[in-house]
A and B are shown apart, each in its own frame.
Chain A
Amino acid sequence: MNFDYNEEQQLLADSVRRFVQKDYGFEERRKIVASAAGHSDAVWGTFAEMGLTGIPFSPDHGGFGGGATDLLSVMEAFGEGLVVEPFLATLMGAQCVARAGSDAQKKAILPAVVEGRLKMAFAFAEQGARYDLAQVAAQARKSGAGWTLSGEKRVVLGAPAAGRLVVSAMAPAGLSLYLVEAKAATLKPYRTLDEMRAADVVLASAPGELLGAEGGALPVIEAVVDFATALVCAEAVGAMKFSCDATLEYLKTRKQFGVPIGTFQALQHRIVDMFVAYEQAKSMAFLACSQADSATDAKERKRAISAAKIKIADNARLISQEAIQLHGGMGMSEELKVSHSFRRLTMIAQQFGDADHHLERFARSD
């Protein structure tokens, strides 16, 4: 039993936190969100220099050979700073390649990701499928030596910035994954409520390259989405920490009736419950990341990650809502960062499955 980071993880955690505090403050972030691209190439370059884009990839491709536990502190820091860069999206796309791709595909894609030259996105969700990863209407057809894809994918995070997409589609032999050049698809980009960029992706006989075995994609998709779920759990913990800290600071400084409002017991007990919820969520993020890396079978992994997501979803709701309530009218204002952490936590609660979805999966994997 050891909840400590090792030396490398600690150094990484410190440098990422320092970077976010120093160079990704609320004002810098605001400029990035308002920019045409909605992300910063300069920031991305720094991520690559710091080695962040290489953490979960093999040293064979220039990576660090780590896993979700190594990304935990990075995601926490990103959550605290509400980082909007397409980091998770890129990792998801590239994880599909790392887990299912041929040696040639890995060699073609992963070094570019690790070095910061290529961003990716994972197009797995479709209209009407809710959180069902296997419900896919997009079609893949053989065409000469290659494949063509047709269909529409919804809410593909990071797609507007991506050079390559990984797309799930139905092939004759079943659910399969394909690498698609982003420019071969038609993107309908938008800003998300939590100020990231996403797109609906329309594929009309777009050329694709089969990734992994035809018909064998579901276990890969599930593993990658579970990996990403563990990472958003860690990100949520950071956003929760910010929400709790900002609210505590507000209770200590905001005066009404001649005293700081933090002297009122009605408010004290509520912020205590926020901090307790944060600690419980943090424990479950540890579990999720640890199981994403080390679970010996898929059932064990699904059970642990669903348990974590249930807790994260419930507590994200509680903490984000209470943070606004305890800030009073100011919490409603777009000017305060706490209204932005509210939006991110609200979306995380549903990202990759809400509490109901994971309650169902948790019970099934008992």
Chain B
Amino acid sequence: MDLNYSQEELAFRDQVRGWLQANLPADLRDKIANYEELTREDLLRWHRILAKQGWVAPSWPKEWGGTAWSVVQRYIFEEECGYAGTPPLIPFGLSMCGPVLLKFGSEAQKKQFLPRIYNGDDFWCQGYSEPGSGSDLASLKTKAVRSGEHYLVNGQKIWTTLGHYADWIFCLVRTDSGTAKRQEGISFLLIDMKTPGITVRPLILMDGGHEVNEVFFEDVKVPVQNLVHKEGEGWTVAKYLLGHERMNTGRIGGSKRELAKLKEFAAQQTKNGGTLMDDTRFRDRLSRLEVELMALEITNLRFLDRMRRTGQPPGADVSMLKIKGTEIQQGLTELMMQAVGPLAQPFMAVNGDAGFDEFTAAIAPRYCNYRKTTIYAGSNEIQRNIIAKMTLGL
């Protein structure tokens, strides 16, 4: 038994670490470190830097630009990005639409979309949730009716992350409402966001940020060649996506960076003549979170090791990485807010310069924003359902 990376893996980690240090633009790194909102350009800039290096889509087949890295190397790369504090790679194109096209797409679709996803020419978003269909996704109602060489799409999607940046959206739509099972009659469509009839309306979250949207479809004409896989078999595609590449849902690298930051920040906060780090009540909460993160990292490595040994894709129990990872992320934002104390309250200048520190002012909104993590990508309750059913056989 050996809990450490091999010499080769350590060399790879150092290579990635060194490259990130040299190539992550300072302004982007600072924006991340200061909890600032990232623009479309910020996200695409980092995407293109990685694309140029050949590292933007590690898990893709080599012919389409993949790196042929092992599962462990892919994990190391993602964690190093998190630890360095790079902008996120938006998953909708690279880890969702891309893998779906690679598995189910026609040759023409692959040629049309994959290079543009790889190079960051198109910004993608995901059209899954609807006002009446959250966790119960198969109840979706957005309709696509075949009419000649087009589908006519009508309906509404919600919680569309970065839909206001997107050039394309992949959607689950109902092409047949007369099926016996709700999971049948659903299709997977690729839709150009510039198509007439699409309206994007911002949904402002409680932290004041604009990251999600409602997307309305009114008689939107989608060419039939934008159907992926067979008509009525979109659920198969959706399920494939859910099972794809979930080894980094724990976001351990990012949490390690936040933990180090929190310790540094708490050591600057004075209390009773010492610092907050000397405060037993605060310190115990911090230590428990750190221990939880240590445990999650080893658990994640155990799953990777199992994957490597058996060659099998991760089982349903990787859902626990999402549950624990998001609980830790939330815990960190909560302690950070607690660390800042009464200065958590200032939020937004009324006119001009309020004279407060923007970083400090971003801490409590970040706490608010991170409540999303246990809700999105399959709420933590859905993750528990998955473990109960698939792993425990209940």
Chain B residue numbers with a CB within 8 Å of A280 are 292, 295-296, 299, 324
Query: Is A69 interfacial (CB-CB < 8 Å)?
Result: yes
Chain B residue numbers with a CB within 8 Å of A69 are 1
Give A69 to B1 CA distance when docked, in angstroms. Answer: 7
Complex partner residue of B291 from A286, A289, A310, CB under 8 angstroms? A310
When the two chains form their complex, are residues A252 and B394 in contact, meaning their CB atoms are under 8 A apart? yes
Given A251-B394, A276-B323, A276-B324, A287 and B3 contact (CB-CB distance below 8 Å): yes
Given A252-B394, A290-B1, A359 and B284 contact (CB-CB distance below 8 Å): yes
In the complex, identify which listed stretch (A142-150, A177-185, A263-271) lies at the interface while the others stay far away: A263-271
Give the nearest-CB partner of B388 in chain A. A268
Query: Is A340 interfacial (CB-CB < 8 Å)?
Result: no
Complex partner residue of B320 from A262, A279, A310, CB under 8 angstroms? A279
Complex partner residue of A269 from B3, B290, B381, CB under 8 angstroms? B381
Query: Is A222 interfacial (CB-CB < 8 Å)?
Result: no
Given A69-B1, A276-B320, A1 and B287 contact (CB-CB distance below 8 Å): no
B174 smallest CB distance to A (angstroms): 27
When the two chains form their complex, are residues B388 and A359 in contact, meaning their CB atoms are under 8 A apart? no
Give the nearest-CB partner of B386 in chain A. A272
In the complex, identify which listed stretch (A2-10, A93-101, A158-166) lies at the interface while the others stay far away: A2-10
Given A252-B394, A268-B388, A283 and B299 contact (CB-CB distance below 8 Å): yes
When the two chains form their complex, are residues A363 and B283 in contact, meaning their CB atoms are under 8 A apart? yes
When the two chains form their complex, are residues B305 and A271 in contact, meaning their CB atoms are under 8 A apart? no
Residue interface mask A234-246, B partner, CB < 8 A = 1:
0000000000000
Query: Is B194 interfacial (CB-CB < 8 Å)?
Result: no
Complex partner residue of A286 from B284, B298, B317, B324, CB under 8 angstroms? B298
Query: Is A155 interfacial (CB-CB < 8 Å)?
Result: no
When the two chains form their complex, are residues A2 and B302 in contact, meaning their CB atoms are under 8 A apart? no
Query: Is B181 interfacial (CB-CB < 8 Å)?
Result: no
Query: Is B375 interfacial (CB-CB < 8 Å)?
Result: no
When the two chains form their complex, are residues A1 and B288 in contact, meaning their CB atoms are under 8 A apart? no
When the two chains form their complex, are residues A275 and B292 in contact, meaning their CB atoms are under 8 A apart? no
Chain B residue numbers with a CB within 8 Å of A60 are none
Choose among A2, A272, A276, A281 the residue with the greatest number of B CB atoms under 10 Å from its CB: A272
Interface of chain B, main secondary structure:
helix
Chain B residue numbers with a CB within 8 Å of A286 are 1, 3, 298, 302
When the two chains form their complex, are residues B292 and A4 in contact, meaning their CB atoms are under 8 A apart? no
Query: Is B301 interfacial (CB-CB < 8 Å)?
Result: yes
Query: Is B177 interfacial (CB-CB < 8 Å)?
Result: no
When the two chains form their complex, are residues A1 and B292 in contact, meaning their CB atoms are under 8 A apart? no
Given A268-B384, A286-B3, A248 and B392 contact (CB-CB distance below 8 Å): yes
When the two chains form their complex, are residues B295 and A4 in contact, meaning their CB atoms are under 8 A apart? no
When the two chains form their complex, are residues A1 and B324 in contact, meaning their CB atoms are under 8 A apart? no
Give A273 to B385 CA distance when docked, in angstroms. Answer: 11
When the two chains form their complex, are residues A359 and B2 in contact, meaning their CB atoms are under 8 A apart? no
Give the nearest-CB partner of A267 in chain B. B394
Give A279 to B304 CA distance when docked, in angstroms. Answer: 14
Give the nearest-CB partner of B394 in chain A. A262
Give the nearest-CB partner of B9 in chain A. A1
When the two chains form their complex, are residues A287 and B298 in contact, meaning their CB atoms are under 8 A apart? yes
Give A252 to B283 CA distance when docked, in angstroms. Answer: 41
Chain A residue numbers with a CB within 8 Å of B284 are 356, 359, 363
When the two chains form their complex, are residues A265 and B385 in contact, meaning their CB atoms are under 8 A apart? yes
Chain A residue numbers with a CB within 8 Å of B1 are 2-6, 9, 69, 72, 286, 289-290
Complex partner residue of A279 from B4, B9, B283, B299, CB under 8 angstroms? B299
Give A310 to B287 CA distance when docked, in angstroms. Answer: 9
Query: Is B205 interfacial (CB-CB < 8 Å)?
Result: no
Given A2-B2, A263-B394, A269 and B299 contact (CB-CB distance below 8 Å): no
Give the nearest-CB partner of B308 in chain A. A1
Query: Is B387 interfacial (CB-CB < 8 Å)?
Result: yes
B4 smallest CB distance to A (angstroms): 6
Query: Is A323 interfacial (CB-CB < 8 Å)?
Result: no
When the two chains form their complex, are residues A3 and B394 in contact, meaning their CB atoms are under 8 A apart? no
Chain B residue numbers with a CB within 8 Å of A271 are 388, 392, 394
Query: Is B349 interfacial (CB-CB < 8 Å)?
Result: no
Residue interface mask B376-391, A partner, CB < 8 A = 1:
0000010011011001
Query: Is B5 interfacial (CB-CB < 8 Å)?
Result: yes
B191 smallest CB distance to A (angstroms): 36
Complex partner residue of A3 from B302, B320, B323, CB under 8 angstroms? B302
Complex partner residue of B384 from A4, A272, A284, A307, CB under 8 angstroms? A272
B30 smallest CB distance to A (angstroms): 27
Chain B residue numbers with a CB within 8 Å of A311 are 291-292, 294-295
Q: Which of B244-267 contact A (CB under 8 A)?
A: none
Given A69-B1, A262-B394, A359-B288, A275 and B387 contact (CB-CB distance below 8 Å): yes
When the two chains form their complex, are residues B317 and A279 in contact, meaning their CB atoms are under 8 A apart? yes
Given A272-B387, A280-B296, A362-B287, A1 and B320 contact (CB-CB distance below 8 Å): no
Chain A residue numbers with a CB within 8 Å of B239 are none
Give A323 to B284 CA distance when docked, in angstroms. Answer: 27
When the two chains form their complex, are residues B381 and A1 in contact, meaning their CB atoms are under 8 A apart? no
Complex partner residue of B295 from A72, A268, A273, A283, CB under 8 angstroms? A283
Give A195 to B153 CA distance when docked, in angstroms. Answer: 69
Chain B residue numbers with a CB within 8 Å of A275 are 317, 320, 387, 391-392
Give the nearest-CB partner of A260 in chain B. B394
When the two chains form their complex, are residues B287 and A283 in contact, meaning their CB atoms are under 8 A apart? no
Chain B residue numbers with a CB within 8 Å of A263 are 394
Given A69-B1, A276-B320, A284 and B387 contact (CB-CB distance below 8 Å): no
When the two chains form their complex, are residues A3 and B301 in contact, meaning their CB atoms are under 8 A apart? yes
Chain A residue numbers with a CB within 8 Å of B2 are 1-2, 290
Q: Which of B339-394 contact A (CB under 8 A)?
A: 381, 384-385, 387-388, 391-394
A-B contact pairs, 29 of them (CB 8 A): A1-B4, A2-B305, A3-B1, A4-B305, A69-B1, A269-B384, A269-B385, A272-B388, A272-B392, A275-B317, A275-B387, A275-B391, A275-B392, A276-B320, A276-B387, A279-B302, A279-B320, A280-B292, A280-B296, A280-B324, A281-B295, A286-B1, A286-B3, A286-B298, A287-B298, A311-B292, A359-B284, A359-B287, A360-B280
**Besides A279-B299, A286-B3, A311-B294, 13 other CB < 8 A contacts?**
A1-B6, A2-B1, A2-B305, A3-B306, A4-B1, A4-B305, A248-B394, A271-B388, A271-B394, A272-B384, A280-B296, A286-B302, A290-B2
List of 6 A-B pairs having minimum Cβ-Cβ separation, nearest first: A283-B298, A268-B388, A280-B295, A272-B384, A283-B299, A262-B394
